[in-house]
């Protein structure tokens, strides 16, 4: 480990730039432009985003989830409604998202409040999931301690038999959350670590202010 010289691991960020004149007035339009470029570029899982939450104890926890939809209302992901992240959100409905599009030397950071999406919206997405993933939602009590993987696979097989015919119903403990942004930051790496950073902040009238941040 000592020979790895982690302190010398670095890359020069020289693949692009971000000018104020090029930004869209709406952060959602700007996100759509960058997300499309991430999908077309050499980015693995462009909809993968880090989700940071904290409960009443103030101890933060971060994990990767998948963005499944977005519009001017916010950014939506789906999960077990009895998981640790769900408990955090119930205790403290504030969260931060990070899209680490490192192949493009870009990041997008979103801070906002979290709200549940409707059951209808959760069902509309659930029925698009692969059948195996639908069954998996029924047997995974996310974040709870289990004794072995064998038990998990046995439960999956049992549930597969139970739902061998017809559609797999939506579990009552599974659904979606929407992060409604207060701030959205667009970060573009630049040479000499003089990165371009622009912060969109929502004003009381619903319009978005745009400010450049120091790198």
Active site residues: 193
Which strand (E) or helix (H) includes residue 113?
strand 106-116
- CA dist., res. 150 & res. 156, Å (int): 10
Shortest CA distance to 110 belongs to which of 50, 60, 58? 50
Cα three-residue angle 175-181-183, rounded to 5 degrees: 150
Are 53 and 88 a contacting pair, CB within 8 Å? yes
Cα three-residue angle 114-116-121, rounded to 5 degrees: 130
- The DSSP call for residue 36 is H
Q: Is 178 helix (H, G, I), strand (E, B) or coil?
A: strand
Cα three-residue angle 116-78-41, rounded to 5 degrees: 125
């Amino acid at each position: 480990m000592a020979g790895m010289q982690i302190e010398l691991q670095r890359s020069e960020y020289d693949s692009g730039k971000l000018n104020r004149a090029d930004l869209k007035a709406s952060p959602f339009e700007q996100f759509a432009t960058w997300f499309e470029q991430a999908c077309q570029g050499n980015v693995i899982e462009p909809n993968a985003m880090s989700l940071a939450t904290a409960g009443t104890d103030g101890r933060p926890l971060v994990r990767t989830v998948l963005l499944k939809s977005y519009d001017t209302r916010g950014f939506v992901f789906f999960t077990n409604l009895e998981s640790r992240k769900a408990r955090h959100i119930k205790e403290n409905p504030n969260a931060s998202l990070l899209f680490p599009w490192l192949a493009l030397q870009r990041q997008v950071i979103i801070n906002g409040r979290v709200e549940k999406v409707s059951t209808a919206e959760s069902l509309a997405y659930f029925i698009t999931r692969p059948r195996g993933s639908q069954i998996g939602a029924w047997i995974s009590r996310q974040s709870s301690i289990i004794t072995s993987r064998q038990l998990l696979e046995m439960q999956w097989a049992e549930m597969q038999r139970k739902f061998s015919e017809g559609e797999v119903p939506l579990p009552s403990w599974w659904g979606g959350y929407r992060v409604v942004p207060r701030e959205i930051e667009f970060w573009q790496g630049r040479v000499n670590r003089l990165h371009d950073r622009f912060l969109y902040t929502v004003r009381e009238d619903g319009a978005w202010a745009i400010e450049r941040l120091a790198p």
